[in-house]
Amino acid sequence: MATRGRFITLEGLEGVGKTTNREHIHSLLADKNIDVLVTREPGGTELGEQLRHLLLHASTAVCAESELLMMAASRKQHTVEVIEPALRKGLWVLCDRYVDASFAYQGGGRELGAETVASVHELLSIDIKPDLTFLLDMPIADGLKRMAERGKPDKIEKEALAFFERARAAYLQRAQAQPARIKVVDASRALNDVQQQVQNELQAFLARCHG
C-alpha cells in the first residue's frame, strides 16, 4: 500500500508571485524525486474550470454568498476527483490556492465572516487539510501594480483597495493562528530572497516528514 502523499498549498493576493514560486517548489520537489501533481483553485476539474470562468470572467453578476458556494462546489469536486485520489496514490499535491483563499476572499474581502466560510466547508465535508502552506505577502499597492502590468484584470482583480486590505488581514490572521502550517513569505523582496526562504521552509518540512 502506497504511503499517503503530502498536500502543499500556495496562497496570497494578486501579484505576489504565486505562479513563479509554484514552479520553483515543483522543481525543488522534482529534484528530490518526489512525484507531484500541480493543480489550482478555483479549477482543477472540468466543473471547476467552468465555475472559474463564471466567477472570474463572465459578465454574470454573482452575490457574495453565491460566490462562496460556487468556490466551495469547485473545491468539493476538486477534492473528490483530484486531490484525495492523488494523495491516496502517494503523490504529493501542490495547489495554487485552497480553503484559506475562501477565508480571505469571501470571509474577509466579501465580509461574510470566518464562521460562515467554515460552516459551508463543514456542511460539504471538505476536510482535507494542507500539510504546508506558503502565504506570499506584500503591501497591497505593490501587488496591484504588478497585476496591472500583466494585462486585463479579471472580475476579482477589479475590486476596490479596501476589499484586498480585508482579504490580506484575514490571510495574516489565519497565519498567526496556524504558524506551524502557514509560513508567511515576504514577497516584496528580491525574487532570489523570496525563493531562498521558500526553499528553506520546504527543506525544513521535508526533514520533518522524514524525521
Q: Three cell numbers at 148?
A: 496591472
pLDDT tens readout for residues 11-38? 999 999 999 999 999 999 999 999 999 9
**Reported pTM:** 0.96
Closest CA to 134 of 72, 186, 69: 186
Beta carbons of 78 and 48 less than 8 angstroms apart: yes
Closest CA to 36 of 86, 84, 96, 105: 86
pLDDT tens readout for residues 78-115? 999 999 999 999 999 999 999 999 999 999 999 999 99
Task: Say which residues have a Cβ less than 8 Å from residue 135's Cβ, sequence separation at least 6.
Answer: 11, 12, 100, 171, 172, 175, 182, 183, 184, 185
- Amino acid 1: pLDDT: 63
- The domains found in the chain, sorted by start residue, are 7-40+89-209 (3.40.50.300)
Q: How far, in Å, CA of 12 to CA of 17, rounded?
A: 8
pLDDT tens readout for residues 26-71? 999 999 999 999 999 999 999 999 999 999 988 888 999 999 999 9
Share of the chain above pLDDT 70, in %: 99
Backbone angles phi, psi at 117, to 5 degrees: -60, -45
